[in-house]
Structure 1
Amino acid sequence: MEVPAIEATGLAKSYGKLQVLTGVDLRVPAGSVFCLLGPNGAGKTTTVRILTTLTRPDAGTARVAGHDVVRDRAGVRRAISLTGQYAAVDALQTGAENLRMMARLAGASRRDARVRAGELLERFGLTEAANRRAGTYSGGMRRRLDLAAGLAGQAAVIFLDEPTTGLDLTSRQAMWEVVDGLVGSGTTVFLTTQYLEEADRLAARIAVVDHGRVVAEGSPAQLKARFGDQRLDLDLADRAAFEAAAALLGARVVQRDDARLTLGVTTDGSAAHVRSVLDEIDPSGTAVRRFALHSATLDDVFLSLTARKEPAVV
């Protein structure tokens, strides 16, 4: 059996009376993109901090690149790279100097560090600003430079904690291409993100964490199939019909727009199931003005999962 790049069992962490993690289990195959999703405060960043040795767990075990995150912190740190949510570059150095420094710290020769810096500057659209001090960069440019710095070494496992927050679409797409290239060369990428389409685009496997534990795990396709291949959008006739339908459907509602009086419900897309839902909430044929079927997205999955009470593994 292949040794996983990351393996965690029963991770728990509390700050005072606040339980942030209550037993997180993860297994990440080498050479893949693994995405951790969850609402704010669900425990994503705490999980990353434990796996990158910045925080000690209260309970549980974890190994990254074969090294125990508590007993062999130095071994973990030699094998990983971490890019956090906020840019952390040396404002007094130029963009090129920042990248050469990071490559040298990762063990590259002067020549290799210079080559690597040039490649990253071009990939992230920073070549023209290479010789300007990072302190003169815009916020978006500093973020791109920080991402590039995190990729300057040859880490076996790269942690990207919400790496594209605040980036424009072009910069995000450049980052996606970089991630594709990393995985193609055998690197493991552990990603957290606020952008569900980013997880759908990049991840081979996704875990959704809520209230400090994993509530579902699987590939994007498996999760979407498990929680509804299709979404039935219902446009209700008036406020009373809207509230009555919402009450009847309960937890099956995955999207709700009070202003537009629309509800989204997971469905298998069959005529029989659509007819059943319509008959249930609109037996008189007057409550629903119109309806439409759409392919389910990770948004639908996410909204369904973060309201669930029991874990579901796909």
Structure 2
Amino acid sequence: MTHQPAHAPADHPALPKPKVGVLIANLGTPDNHDYWSMRRYLSEFLSDQRVIDYPRWKWQPLLQGIILSKRPFTSGANYRLIWNTEKNESPLMTITREQCEKLAATLAETYGDRVLVDFAMRYGNPSTPSVVDRMVKAGCERLLFFPLYPQYAGSTTASANDQFFRALMAQKWQPASRTVAAYFDRPDYIDALAGTIERTLEGRVPEKLVASYHGMPKRYLMEGDPYHCQCQKTSRLLAERLGWPDGVIDTTFQSVFGSEEWLRPYTVEHVADLARAGVRDLAIISPAFASDCIETLEEINGEIRESYEAAGGTGFTYVPCLNAGGAHIALMARLVEENLQGWV
């Protein structure tokens, strides 16, 4: 839909009707699980200096040589195990699209067609620059950027924001912009996590619930990244909300990469320790992920489950991410509405 600007001459070209844009952003996904698709995706991801901050002269020869010669095969095999063959895309893509569609429908009830909702990926497609460009051309004069990371980390939230700001740099007429802050301690986020746990476990209290967060080098914490502290607070608030006995919930970190020490305890080791200690009813949840993805569907339900069972554990239950559930969409909508104040 277009309109003629006020006080413009009759021959002025019509412009898109002004809108407010909401752009939700997830981590990313390869286009497919073949070698070259995986190599392109991993190269983009692992070249991000927010993720791997080694000097480029030192890191890039190693990455482009040894690592990207081998890792696309193993990562591709893991993606193949969880691939949505019906839509020929990763589960992360399927879920993020559904989140976008449901959020758009919810916001339309309040704002009508004044707010345009879309989604992008930090790595892979749809790329953040391409979606920003599309939204600007559709008339978005104001843009709210919403990284889907409850806990802030430099390697996730900041990297997504960096890419958004780089996309704005390419626009001749930049829209006004805002970003959604971390929401790790919001009561409605904690309620949504607790509700998912209670439904999945059908009201029972497990011997242990492991809250497994994506890991990062310990050095990042020492350099001032607040991620570790925010993860710990999410777990504490979740324990209080559930009202379970002290000691049921453990906080751990997964997806360790490279040789330096990462945040501990490591999930894959911790679940094995629990099994050897006699735990036979283990549940695990990933509060840092807004959508189920390779790290949850394959790593937790694959590698981490196998570590637990190989050490003698039984009774392993994975609690899904919030995904496109009603409580999560309502939370997202409230975050958007709060951040759009004064704009619509």
TM over 0.5: no
TM-score (norm 2): 0.24
More helix by share: 2
Structure number, greater radius of gyration: 1
